Structure 1
């Protein structure tokens, strides 16, 4: 089971997007778990749950460089979610990005 974890400031809209992504993954029988967490828990979540992909909500993209500096050496791909896909709650498109990151990680 691959773990795709989303992080944002509060977690409300990201939780909705995570649910939509999980629904798409389930419909396609993909072994992917999608969850959302507040960005202030990122270190704890990495340590405890070992995500395969980290996606940041657009509202915390200002933290991208800091997060890469702190956790980029873990081998976990970190990317900011496209603001349009986020705003339109396009769970399928965001899931595709996560899958592309997983494939690129294998290479």
Structure 2
């Protein structure tokens, strides 16, 4: 499974990805998690199973849902994002699985 996080530049989510990777390894979950900038989304969307949107891009959620209607996605909770709570964000992502 591929979880893709997008944000304005792809930088701030990189730390969160590392924490999510740690949480997945501890739980024995086989998942690939990556962070990308909003501008690179088209390049990675075909490999994406779950899309997580950085809080700073929450304004784009409606457009993304219209563009990718079958893609499980959510805006990352701003508190979980701000505290870099990889375990909680991973759980939220997994809950989106179809």
Q: Same fold (TM over 0.5)?
A: yes
In the alignment, structure 1 segments of 5+ residues that lack a partner are none
**Is 2:83 aligned against 1:88?**
yes
TM-score (ref. length: structure 2): 0.94
CA distance in 2, matches of 1:22, 1:33: 8
CA distance in 1, matches of 2:84, 2:22: 12
In the alignment, structure 2 segments of 5+ residues that lack a partner are none
CA distance in 1, matches of 2:42, 2:10: 16
Q: How far 1:58 moved relative to its partner?
A: 0.2
Moved over 3 A (4+): none
Q: How far 1:52 moved relative to its partner?
A: 0.8
3-state SS of paired residue (2:95): helix
Q: CA-to-partner distance for each residue in 1:22-67, whole Å, 9 max, x for gaps?
A: 11101221111111000111122113xx211000000011111111
3-state SS of paired residue (2:62): helix
Alignment match, 2:73: 78
1 or 2, which has the higher helix percentage? 1
Alignment match, 2:39: 40
Q: Is the 8 A contact 2:3 2:51 kept in 1?
A: yes
Give the counterpart of 2:55 among 55, 58, 81: 58
**What is the total number of aligned residue pairs between the two structures?**
98
TM-score (ref. length: structure 1): 0.87
